[in-house]
Structure 1
Amino acid sequence: MHDATDMETPPRQGSVPVGSAWRIERCAALAWPAAVTEEREGWLLRHSPGVTRRRSNSALPPPAPVRSIEPVERFYRDRGVPVRVQISPAEHHRELDARLAGLGYRVESGVAVLTARTGDVVAATAPADTAPAVTAAEATREAVTPAGTVAAMAREVVTRADAAPAGAAGSVPVEVAGDPGGWLAVFADLDGHSDSETVGREVISRIAGPAAFLSVSQEGRAAAMGMVVADSGWAGVFCMATRPDLRRRGLAAAVLGAGARWAAGRGADRLYLQVEKDNLAARALYERVGFTYSHGYHFRTFP
């Protein structure tokens, strides 16, 4: 059994206030919608049958100190699934974490949440000798329904500098789509999880807010991908993946740059993303283009 001291002590540089961290988590929950969502005593309870991703089947605590976990346990036990709590921000909910550890909840999956100014990422991924060009979609405001669903957005191709290691040259075309459509096939190809098709159908297809679905093709096949969802001045970066044999060619940086340009055009001046704490290669890339540590989270699950 692990306890609260088993989790990596996060760096403090770049941390944001607790209120901002909680707002990020709320934005992320809306950007990655669960099939069933309920609010009980400040808890955000999420359940998605058939989806194995922890964030789709876990409870997000309120920002105030937690007095009772009974609503959480009842919600998940009524559905016959393990009780899972997302301890976020972990730096703020140490008492809750210790309490769950004492009740036998096991610890899972340490995650770092990083944030960046959108303009910093645009600048870091733009060609060194030219100013970033405004894409057609950034110059045209797409129609949005009252519910926030993108009603129409043309597919486009944007180009960003290949931010590969020193010595690499050239540029990477990134395709940006306003609906998942054909992008879901790219997701199923590159995601690498057994439930990829289910996630595409049950999670990604439910996204209501403005979203960009980004992909790079090389050698006639899907090479890299990402997804960006805008909400209330923030934009979340999700589903970043690069085909293993095509890594270190700047593809991920190109996707990030295209996503940042898209987000800037939707009024999002801040970006956030979630990355496993032990994924040092990905964290190095994100830090290189301007992301810094905001807060951490992990899960507690019983039984």
Structure 2
Amino acid sequence: MDDIHKIEQLAAASWPSYIQKNMGQWLLRANFGVTKRANSVWTSADTPEGDFQQEAEHFYKSLGLPVCFHISNASPKGLDAVLAGSGYEKADECFQMTALGWDIMSHTDDNSRFTYKWEEEPSSVWIDHFIQLEEFSPERHQGYTNIFERMPSCKTFFTMYDQESLAAVGTASVIDGYGGLSNIVVAKEHRGKGAGTQVIRALTEWAISNGAKHMFLQVLKENLAAVSLYEKIGFSPISEHHYRIKR
């Protein structure tokens, strides 16, 4: 198995949906509409037998959700063109980025101005803080709860403070020696103070202490500030993915 397929499998495992159903080696995922990743067909394997479009469309329409496919560099060749030809619109181009854990540590310095709180399972307050910082609707709370409950058992939900002010949150999980980073959000009033770098450093240090050698994350390609930060501290793109959606 090449690195791209490996990372795609780990990324799917680190962000599990409330409903997951096999379609051959692909995975139908649904989570009440909260996040595209959790409400899309994972396609980073050989094409299943039969009419996969019909099966996927029946699955999502029965749940009242738009039909969505996750298309990556590990997806079957030609799949993206087939879906485009069937009227599926392209959305959310992303990078999958990886780094060695110790490279991240060597590219960052510990910033003692911040204090931390760690939770093995996210409290309702942690989820509220995450939703608040992302400026999402409070109605998404249960959808995120579903995902976080099903994440791998080796996980942490991190809150960072500048004095007593909420500065940032983030999540990490470890599977098979790989640490996955997600939900990294810095409060607007604390941006430009090194908070983003410090969150990644702290979560990477936690992941290393729990057996991770490699780190991975996903980021929107249009989020140039985040991409630049990740590259500065040791990450590089290993693959790209996007979504194809039919409403």
Q: TM-score scaled to structure 2, two decimals?
A: 0.90
- Which among 46, 68, 87 is matched to residue 29 of structure 2? 46
Tell me which moved more, 109-118 or 179-188.
179-188
CA distance in 2, matches of 1:93, 1:249: 43
Residue in structure 2 matched with residue 27 of structure 1 by the alignment: 10
8 Å contact from structure 1 (residues 44, 62) kept in 2: no
Equivalent residue number for residue 174 of structure 1: 116
Q: Distance in 1 between matches of 2:167 and 2:245?
A: 35
Partner of 1:205: 149
**Which structure has the larger Rg?**
1
Deviation for aligned residue 1:186: 2.3
Alignment of 1:93-108 (within 5 A): 93-108=76-91
Structure 1 regions of 5+ residues with no counterpart?
A: 1-17, 127-160, 163-169
Could you tell me the percent identity over the aligned residues?
28
Q: Cα deviations across residues 218-265 of structure 1 (Å, max 9, x unaligned)?
A: 253311111001111111100011111210101111111111111111
Give, as a single letter, the amino acid of the residue that structure 1 aligns with 2:29: R
Check conservation: 2:23, 2:48, Cα contact below 8 A: no
**Structure 2 CA distance for aligned equivalents of residues 112 and 75 of structure 1:** 27
Paired position in structure 2 for 1:78:
62
Question: Is contact 1:19-1:63 (8 Å) kept?
Answer: no
Change (3 A) 1:208 1:292: closer
Distance between the aligned counterparts of 1:179 and 1:258, measured in 2? Answer: 17
Aligned residues: 243
Compared CA separation, residues 78 and 185, structure 1 to 2 (3 A)? closer
In the alignment, structure 2 segments of 5+ residues that lack a partner are: none
Q: Is the 8 A contact 2:156 2:173 kept in 1?
A: yes
Note if contact 2:96-2:218 (Cα within 8 Å) is conserved in structure 1.
Answer: yes
Q: How does 1:82-93 map to 2 (within 5 A)?
A: 82-89=66-73, 93=76
Contact 1:226 1:238 in 2 (8 A): yes
1:299 is matched with which residue: 239, 243, 247?
243
In 1, the alpha carbon distance for the partners of 2:106 and 2:161 equals 23
One-letter amino acid of the counterpart of residue 26, structure 2: W
Q: Distance in 1 between matches of 2:77 and 2:243?
A: 12
What CA distance in whole angstroms lies between the structure 2 residues aligned with 1:38 and 1:232? 23
TM, length-normalised to structure 1: 0.74
Q: Secondary structure at the match of 2:78?
A: helix
Give the letter aligned to residue 190 of structure 1: L
RMSD: 2.0
The answer to which structure has the higher helix fraction is 2
**Following superposition of structure 1 onto structure 2, how do residues 1-303 of structure 1 map, counting pairs within 5 Å?**
19-49=2-32, 51-65=33-47, 68-70=51-53, 71-89=55-73, 93-126=76-109, 161-162=110-111, 171-181=113-123, 182-194=125-137, 195-303=139-247
> Helix, strand or coil for the counterpart of 2:180?
strand
> Whose strand proportion is higher, 1 or 2?
2
3-state SS of 2:153 partner: coil
Amino acid at match of 2:40: S
1:280 deviation in Å?
0.6
CA positional deviation for 1:268: 1.1
Quick one: distance in 2 between partners of 1:46 and 1:66?
Answer: 15
